[in-house]
Amino acid sequence: MFVTAIIAAGGRGRRFGGTQPKQLVSIGARTILERSVAAFAEHPSIDELIVALPAELMADPPAPLRGRPADAVPLRLVAGGARRQDSVANAFHAADDRASIIVIHDAARPFVSADLITRTIDAAREHGAALAALQARDTVKRADVAASKDPARHRAAEASADDVFVRETLPRETIYLAQTPQAFRRSVLAEALAAGARAEADATDEAALAERAGHRVRLVEGEVTNIKITTPDDLATAEAIVARREGAGRAAPPRTGRAGSGYDLHRLVAGRPLVLGGVTIPWDRGALGHSDADVVCHALTDAILGAACLGDIGRHFPDADPRWKDASSLDLLGRAAALAAAAGLEIGNVDVTVILEAPKIAPHVEAMRKAVAAAIGLDVSRVSIKGKTNEGIDAIGRGEAIAAHAVALLRSNLKSDI
């Protein structure tokens, strides 16, 4: 029996946020993608491995996918498609002709066990199609979503809590939550993908396509630790799993803070708005810059990136990139906070000092604090912004420039830390 494993890593992980695909985010010393690939590359039943990557990574794939030992399981890379099912189809068409069983796994599930892989493959060999799944533990409610005033725009996922009512209670013993791996005989998967290509609606997994094609899918008991990393909040759970598995016998590291500092300065010129902390302040001059030149957000962005050891604002949002022309610095600040979260860090508090001869910023400080707090997901009580003059000294004192100093305190968001 020849078994091909497909790792579906062609998505961008938009719900996760950040500037890189979530599968390239590290958990412990290894990326999410590296952990998922290794689970199958090291499994004795796998004869070849195909990884579907975002098209932009094909020219320079991640290091763990390059330079593999000669005796390693053969690994092939294919470009992902617009939809998950397109990425899997691309990988399927690249599979070895000898493959009789094809097992598919989400790259975002880095903790799949060898036992679960084995059980799923065995079930597919016997029944034609199989997927790992967990039986629901909670009472399950089917929702009845109130009709929107604009039915064309209404979707259940967008409904507020006030719009949702219980239609019925489902017997939880009949409800299973799908995971991967999912495995299929080659002929079954070929029919499933063909059904998906004919259908207009997207499918969230290959088992659904197999169902559409008329095949019964065997359920294999999944694993609680086989989590899917979808948002930055999932990283805390993932890091805890790694700490338990790979930190056995080692003392837990102390929960220590990380401090970062930031500084920004811009010339003041006529014809530009003066934007500070996302708030436009009435004045006859504003800061000159590629974006909106908000020194509060720029200094704070550098402080957060510095505390996380992720470089500086110029590395992530260079002024040579037209995407950041006239960009909202609050948006850049939020992106920096997301990068820190992806690195396993949460912001404790921030402090910004604006140095400006005029105008007085005191009347606007509360609005600035609220805007900054919302951008970085922090309670406003943890955001400090204050103004100082330069006592008439140098360009700032002459009203020709504005500057800001910022400090950010970050800490690990790992629940396992002390």
The one-letter code for the residue type at 132 is A
What are the residues facing 279 on neighbouring strands? 276
Query: What CATH class has 257-412?
Result: alpha beta
Q: According to the model, what pLDDT value does residue 355 have?
A: 95
Handedness of CA 153, 156, 159, 164 (dihedral sign): positive
Q: What is the DSSP string of 383-410?
A: EEEEEE--TT-HHHHTTSEEEEEEEEEE
Handedness of CA 187, 188, 194, 198 (dihedral sign): positive
Contact 304, 198 (CB under 8 A): no
Q: According to the model, what pLDDT value does residue 60 have?
A: 87
Distance CA 394, CA 205 (A): 63
Q: According to the model, what pLDDT value does residue 223 have?
A: 92
Phi, psi of 101 (to 5 degrees): -125, 135
Q: According to the model, what pLDDT value does residue 69 have?
A: 79
Distance CA 298, CA 312 (A): 10
Q: Give me the residue label for tokens 């005989």.
A: 185
Contact 296, 372 (CB under 8 A): yes
Q: How far apart are the first and last CA of the chain?
A: 48
**Domain boundaries defined on the chain:** 3-135+177-246, 137-174, 257-412
Distance CA 215, CA 84 (A): 20
Contact 276, 295 (CB under 8 A): yes
Mean pLDDT by 10 residues, the chain (418 residues): 93 64 84 93 94 90 81 90 89 95 95 94 96 91 65 46 81 92 96 81 84 94 92 84 68 64 94 92 88 91 92 83 80 89 87 94 93 90 93 91 94 51
Architecture label for domain 3-135+177-246:
Alpha-Beta Complex (3.90)
Q: Which helix (H) or strand (E) covers residue 3, if one does?
A: strand 3-8
Q: According to the model, what pLDDT value does residue 251 have?
A: 44
Distance CA 371, CA 365 (A): 10
What pTM does this model have? 0.58
Q: According to the model, what pLDDT value does residue 162 have?
A: 61
Nearest to 375 by CA among 304, 314, 306: 304
